[in-house]
């Protein structure tokens, strides 16, 4: 198939290839790896407004930490964190909100509260009903390749166990499984977005290889989201704490755009909006 050209999300139309779109991260979680967790709904709304002013095209709201070895968050606690935030943010800004969750119940409530995109960090492996929900509601779904369940990366030691002889093959296989599941369930192809899952069950060296070979994912024909912001591949190269990884993130964003990324998921919207504009001028001629 040819690459998807347009995805509609409520009143918003994403024309892929025209420019890079920016997803601003809103973590309503006190234990976010990046140190940017938000404690109150009012703070989440203030950040949402600021991100939109700075150039965010999508706001990604999540309540459960995805740091390695973090404990699963009980359903009711995740609901308590994210649903009021989604509801109030959706009343405040006009850009689409995505809900970053692997829980079907949270996704249902979030869509009812005003979210318009599902962001599944397990690519339907943990909760296949998310595909059915996306099909029923006619909303886009982001399918991420997550290797934390396959033994390729020992998070306690940070060492590669050698499970994946080729990480791109593993990522492609994972994404193909998610895409097949979504399409079989009735999700239109234009409502599927893929994410290679930087930092999820890969070593930092494998993350760098994915960034270097990102264009190999374009053959699947779907828009590509990358989430490198402040992550451990930057820590391992620059030896800096999360709050000081803006320049490292900028490098990964620029290279990601050059290698085919359509959406970048970031903590530092103002700075990355400038990086995207400059990279798009070079790569896309806009």
pTM over 0.95: no
Single out the catalytic residue among 202, 230, 231, 245: 231
Domain count along the chain: 1
For the chain, what is the radius of gyration of the CA atoms? 17
Would residue 4 count as lying in a domain?
A: no
**Nearest-angstrom CA–CA distance, 130 and 26:** 21
Three-state secondary structure string covering the chain: CCCCCEEEECCEEEEECCECEEEEEEECCCCCCCCCCCCCHHHHHHHHHHHHHHCCCEEEEECCCCCCCCCCCCHHHHHHHHHHHHHHHHHHCCCCEEEECCCHHHHHHHHHHCCCEEEECCCCCCCCHHHHHHHHHCCCEEEECCCCCCCCEECCCCEECCCCCCHHHHHHHHHHHHHHHHHHHCCCHHHEEEECCCCCCCCHHHHHHHHHCHHHHHHHCCCEEECCCCCHHHHHHHCCCHHHCHHHHHHHHHHHHHCCCCEEEECCHHHHHHHHHHHHHHHCCC
Would residue 8 count as lying in a domain?
A: no
The model's pLDDT over 157-177, given as tens digits with 9 standing for 90+, comes to 445 445 567 999 999 999 999
The packing angle between helices 167-185 and 129-137, to 10°, is 50
Closest CA to 238 of 251, 225, 226: 251
- The CATH number given to whatever domain includes residue 113 is 3.20.20.20
21 phi, psi to nearest 5 deg: -100, 145
Q: Contact at 8 Å (CB) between 156 and 174?
A: no
Would residue 134 count as lying in a domain?
A: yes
Closest CA to 213 of 166, 281, 245: 166
Would residue 89 count as lying in a domain?
A: yes
**Nearest-angstrom CA–CA distance, 51 and 178:** 30
Please list the ranges in the chain whose pLDDT falls under 50.
34, 152-158, 160-161
Predicted confidence at residue 72, as pLDDT, reads: 82
Domain interval for residue 183? 19-283
Single out the catalytic residue among 265, 270, 277, 284: 265
Would residue 232 count as lying in a domain?
A: yes
Predicted confidence at residue 71, as pLDDT, reads: 77
Predicted confidence at residue 85, as pLDDT, reads: 96
Two structure tokens written together for 132? 């059915």
Would residue 13 count as lying in a domain?
A: no
Residue 265 falls in the annotated catalytic set: yes
Annotate 87-115 with b (16+ C-beta within 10 A) or e (fewer).
Answer: bbbbeebebbbbbbbbbbebbbbbbebbb
Would residue 273 count as lying in a domain?
A: yes
Predicted confidence at residue 155, as pLDDT, reads: 43
Would residue 241 count as lying in a domain?
A: yes
């Amino acid at each position: 198939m040819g690459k998807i050209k347009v995805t509609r999300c409520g009143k918003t139309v994403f024309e892929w290839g025209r420019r890079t779109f920016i997803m601003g991260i809103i973590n309503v979680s006190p234990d976010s790896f990046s140190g940017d967790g938000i404690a109150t709904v009012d703070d989440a709304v203030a950040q949402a407004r600021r991100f939109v002013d700075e150039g965010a095209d999508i706001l990604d709201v999540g309540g459960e930490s995805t740091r390695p070895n973090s404990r699963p968050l009980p359903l009711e606690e995740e609901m308590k964190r994210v649903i009021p935030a989604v509801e109030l943010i959706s009343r405040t800004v006009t850009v689409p909100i995505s809900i970053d969750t692997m829980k079907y119940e949270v996704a249902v409530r979030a869509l009812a509260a005003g979210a318009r995109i599902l962001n599944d960090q397990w690519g339907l492996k943990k909760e296949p009903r998310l595909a059915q929900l996306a099909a029923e509601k006619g909303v886009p779904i982001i399918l991420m390749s997550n290797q934390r369940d396959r033994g390729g990366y020992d998070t306690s030691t940070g060492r590669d166990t050698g499970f994946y002889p080729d990480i791109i093959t593993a990522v492609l296989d994972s994404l193909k499984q998610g895409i097949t599941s979504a399409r079989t369930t009735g999700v239109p192809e234009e409502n599927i977005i893929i994410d290679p899952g930087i930092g999820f069950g890969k070593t930092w060296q494998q993350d760098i290889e994915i960034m270097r070979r990102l264009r190999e994912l374009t053959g699947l024909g779907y828009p590509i989201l990358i989430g490198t912001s402040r992550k451990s591949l930057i820590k391992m190269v620059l030896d800096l704490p999360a709050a000081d990884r803006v320049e490292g993130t900028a490098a990964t964003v620029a290279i990601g755009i050059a290698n085919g990324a359509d959406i970048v998921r970031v903590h530092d919207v103002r700075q990355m909006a400038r990086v995207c504009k400059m990279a798009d001028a070079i790569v896309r001629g806009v």
